[in-house]
Amino acid sequence: MKKTAITCAIALALLAGACSGNGKKEAAASADSDAVATQTESGIAVSDEYKLVDGTFVSANGLPMIIDFSAEWCPPCRQLKPVFEELEKEYAGKINFITVNVDSMPSVAQNYKVESIPNLVFAKADGTEVYRSVGFREGAELKAYIEKYLSE
């Protein structure tokens, strides 16, 4: 059951689900999703951009990641959504943008110690967290964080 939920979560991530916009990856469980991601024998869910290993995202393509923990019912999350989408377009090929619906994947949110949303976790390709931003941020502020993040 857990393997199925992870596979469905990754599949929905590629289909852009509830708290994400068009073209945005969202890791969220859904039994109705077509399987876009694959799952290895060891139970690790995999996409072209990232994989989920023991509740932690690891880049599959060697790029750093920004993981957006959010929920549909959260007004600041909905406000951040178009900002995050624009940044994803601007930094395509440089950073993996991942959205996790905390209601659908509470164990992943718990693993990342998410207590408030929206919560953006900047992580290296190996999954090591390097920075965290909690609450709504304007695009210019997030862009400054990203530029600093990429220069390190």
- List active site positions: 74, 77
Beta bridge partners of 113: none
Length of the chain: 152
CA distance 130 to 99: 17
Provide the sign of the torsion angle of the four alpha carbons 41, 99, 54, 127, taken in this order. Answer: positive
CA distance 12 to 30: 7
Do 83 and 30 meet the contact criterion of CB atoms below 8 Å apart? no
Question: Which residue, 15, 114, 17, 118, is CA-closest to 57?
Answer: 114
* Run of H or E including 112: none
